[in-house]
Structure 1
Amino acid sequence: MGRQPNLYSFSDSELAPNLRKYVLDAQNEAFKRHDVFRVAISGGSLPKTLANALLAPSSGGDDDTVDFSKWEIFYADERCVPLTHEDSNHKLVQEELLNKIPKGMAQPKVFTIDEKHMEDAQEMADEYEKQLVSVFAARDSVKLPLFDLLLLGCGPDGHTCSLFPDHPLLRESDAWVLSIADSPKPPPKRITLSLPVVIHGAKIGFVATGGGKKEILKKIFETEEGSKLPCGLVNEGAGEKVSWFCDQAATEGVSFPRRGSVI
């Protein structure tokens, strides 16, 4: 592991502008590498926060311009439900972000699950992995896909994506996309990126806000037990590639060096 992850603590008004700067820095770095921005997104409260950041007016500078025409959005995890279902991460991202992109702006390319495999989570995982292979390994074989950015949430139990504490999926080392049929949170059938894929990302951003996240953040950042939770394993495995975007309510009492600004 490199240096420790970055823990940012913002006032409510500062979080979205700093998250915007972080995402657009990752976008612009990606454009220099391969003229496309490949990002994996989770559900929960993240899409709304992301929309607040990305759909804010631009300052006008080249480095503060969202170019959705070169974005490729993948889902860090998804539920085995129709894309119009209330539990669908895609529906959430569509309602909170995609549908709000102003007319005249290009739409990103979005890679969704294939609804015809809803009854078979493993089949759905296999199909989604094939999509990743077609994008990330089209010309040569790669051990793991390299996302330019993963934007993730943190559950009150320390889970991220659909990787849950003490679950056998945490030990999977080869597959890119995993299926889970016994999720501790409903719905039970889901697919998720594997832990090695998450850790391999060029940048990994967690968004965790509200006083309800305070106890789990204390555990993740302060205890040995917390370092073994899925979010803690990402911190351990990816080190300084990880940045946590939190508000002051979520970081209250967390004894870990906090940074004040990305900007």
Structure 2
Amino acid sequence: MGAHLMGSGAVSPISTSKGAGTGVPHQFSYPDKEVQSMAVLQYANADAGAEGVTQLVLEAAASAIKERGAFTLVLSGGSLLKALAPLAATRGADWACWHVFFVDERNVLHSSPDSNFKGADEALLSKVPIPREQIHAIQEGLPVREAATEYAGQLLRLPQDVLPRNAEGLPVFDVILLGIGPDAHVASLFPNWPQTAATEGWVLPVEGSPKPPPERITFTMPVINSAREVAIVAFGGGKAEAVQRCLEVQALPGALPAQLVRPSAGSLKWVLDVASSQALRAQTWQDAKAFPRSS
């Protein structure tokens, strides 16, 4: 194209732009691989869904213990903990082989009502004979950055017969149970936050969380996606909008963090009840013109 004149009569300078996409890259991108195994499981109500979660966990535990003599379970907090009641009532599990971790945690004392450890202890851990040294909790009283580093250190020190590593050197947990927030955040990975976009590291600090308390630690998305099995558990009508948006709307990457949960070599299950899945239109999922939805 020819040059043009500016208002002063001078010839406009030649652009030095190298075109779109050649400057600072966007922190998020669409995953380049589809989930190898994904299922949406719908139950009549939250109680039936909790039984489904229990069956999922117990089957994974039996398989892992038979294979290598250990089972790793990762919990989140919030409403997910209510789904652990049937698991807490289970008898006959090989609890001595279980190791329990937290996909995220608030940087508070274990006695705080905000502590995911406290919630999990009340819902499950105090009711089953898992050895206390095999319940891996955040260290109390540290600045949040040090707490994240210390928790990553706990994971790194575990032998590979307990916590295997994949070809990329990432830990491979047997089961990660995730809740989902109304903004579709999982763990403490919030929409469009740099921690959600992180491609390196195992555990990161979160400061200034949009949900109180402000200081947290969280697994990274690559660690979550290295698990053998990930279950996103959502019960009740209050989860319906987040569930529908994640499963049916193609959002900009990073806008709905739960959409970035895509196990690279494992399976993903959405565990729902009728109330949380009420906005889905599963009958359109095979129609290329109707799916994905725009709203």
Q: TM-score, normalised by structure 2?
A: 0.77
Contact 2:226–2:266, Cα closer than 8 Å, also in 1: no
| Count of aligned positions | 244
Larger radius of gyration: 2
Point out the structure with the larger helix share: 1
Unaligned runs of 5+ in 1: 59-64, 258-263
Separation (CA, whole Å) in 1 of partners of 2:165 and 2:77? 30
Match of 2:29 in 1: none
Contact 1:41–1:150, Cα closer than 8 Å, also in 2: yes
Q: 3-state SS of the aligned residue for 2:63?
A: helix
Equivalent of 1:85, from 112, 116, 127? 112
Separation (CA, whole Å) in 2 of partners of 1:255 and 1:82? 43
Equivalent of 2:147, from 118, 124, 137? 124
Cα gap change, 1:86 to 1:248, in 2 (>3 Å): same
Separation (CA, whole Å) in 2 of partners of 1:185 and 1:136? 35
Separation (CA, whole Å) in 2 of partners of 1:247 and 1:66? 26
Unaligned runs of 5+ in 2: 1-33, 284-295
Q: 3-state SS of the aligned residue for 2:82?
A: helix
Cα gap change, 1:16 to 1:140, in 2 (>3 Å): closer
Q: 3-state SS of the aligned residue for 2:78?
A: coil
State how 1:82-231 maps to structure 2 within 5 Å. 82-101=109-128, 105-107=129-131, 109-117=134-142, 120-135=143-158, 143-225=169-251, 228=254, 229-231=256-258
Contact 2:108–2:141, Cα closer than 8 Å, also in 1: no
Separation (CA, whole Å) in 2 of partners of 1:141 and 1:68? 23
RCO (CA 8 Å, sep 6+): is it higher in 1 or 2? Answer: 1
Contact 2:228–2:265, Cα closer than 8 Å, also in 1: no
Runs of 4+ in structure 1 over 4 Å off: 105-108, 136-142, 237-240
Task: Report the residue type matching 2:267 in the other structure.
Answer: K
Match of 1:260 in 2: none
Task: Report the residue type matching 1:116 in the other structure.
Answer: G
Match of 2:88 in 1: 55
Separation (CA, whole Å) in 1 of partners of 2:141 and 2:97? 28
Match of 1:261 in 2: none
Separation (CA, whole Å) in 2 of partners of 1:213 and 1:231? 13
CA deviation vs aligned residue, 1:47-101 (integer Å, no higher than 9, x gap) = 2211x2213455xxxxxx4221111001100011001001100000011112233
Report the Cα offset of residue 226 of structure 1. Answer: 7.1
Q: 3-state SS of the aligned residue for 1:249?
A: coil
Report the Cα offset of residue 4 of structure 1. Answer: 5.6
Q: TM-score, normalised by structure 1?
A: 0.86
Task: Report the residue type matching 2:211 in the other structure.
Answer: K
